Amino acid sequence: MQTAALAAGVSSTVIYAGFSFAVLSVPCFLMGLTIPIAAEAAQRQLRAARSKAVAEFFAMNTLGAVVGTVLCGFLLMPILGQAASLAVAASGNLLAGAIILVFLSRLPTAGSEVPSTPAPPEKPRRKRIFHEAVVLAFVLGALSLGYEKYLFRILALAYTPLPWIFSFVLCMFLLFWSAGVYLSGKMEVSTTAALALTGLSIALTPMILSFQRATSYPFPIWGGGLVHFLPALGFGVLFGTT
């Protein structure tokens, strides 16, 4: 198919983008479904009424992603290779689904469960605030993922462009992000102050990189190089607050 497309004059960029989308769309779509459904189950079925519980839930999920990044990037891929690592990931998903089925089989029957409390009707002001929060969450998602791609680029330039650098950036970004989400659930945070500090930390990033290049002595990536991930902490705080 690639040969035919190239022969027809289709750009290789379009081919790779199209195939990547076709391969990744279904599993990523299903992964995206799991966390909102789990959060909904925790709130309604397990009666986790605290709004902060959602922030803690997302923080733990992202912390799990950090563990997965470390295991895959530093252990599974180097030791087992790509195909076996993919088989391990698929087996993990199947095991998680099987555990959930076991839990479901032990839940009370439909007639004996406690009916959920109906949600109160939404007031116009609450509806407006909700729509504003959705827009803010969209913007935060776009900015945070854009900054993550920026980190992939600059840290590969500042240090050595090796595969483990990719794993390190992803791991640290998720770790700082999850820490920020967790902090938002533990303390009252001013959205304005969090936005200002996050913006300032982003603005300082290229200056720090320029200093590294000017001195020809980049900070050790496990030490001073972590300063590049402070904006991820801010993004996590903002997401949890929103």
Distance CA 212, CA 222 (A): 15
Q: At what angle do helices 191-215 and 124-158 cross, to 10 degrees?
A: 10
Task: Report the pLDDT value the prediction gives residue 95, as an integer from 0 to 100.
Answer: 94
Chain centroid, CA 220 distance in Å: 25
The H or E element spanning position 73 is none
What per-residue confidence (pLDDT) applies to 231? 92
Looking at residue 94, what is its pLDDT?
92
Write out residues in the chain with pLDDT < 70, as ranges: 43-52, 108-122, 216-224
Q: How far apart are CA 160 and CA 5, in angstroms?
A: 35
Task: Provide long-range contacts, Cβ within 8 A and 24+ apart, for 34-42.
Answer: 35/61
Question: Which own/partner contact pairs does 113-119 have at CB distance under 8 Å and 24+ positions apart?
Answer: 116/44, 116/45
Single-letter residue type at 202: I
- Whole-number pLDDT of residue 3: 84
Query: Virtual CA dihedral for 235, 148, 215, 207, nearest 10 degrees?
Result: -50
Reading the block at residue 96, the tokens are: 């998680």
- CA dihedral sign of residues 65, 98, 46, 128: positive
The model carries a pTM of 0.68
DSSP state of 242: -
Alpha helices in 123-190 (DSSP H): 124-158, 163-186
Which two three-digit tokens encode residue 225?
Answer: 């190089």
Separation of alpha carbons 224 and 21, rounded Å:
36
* Token code pair at residue 165: 């650098």
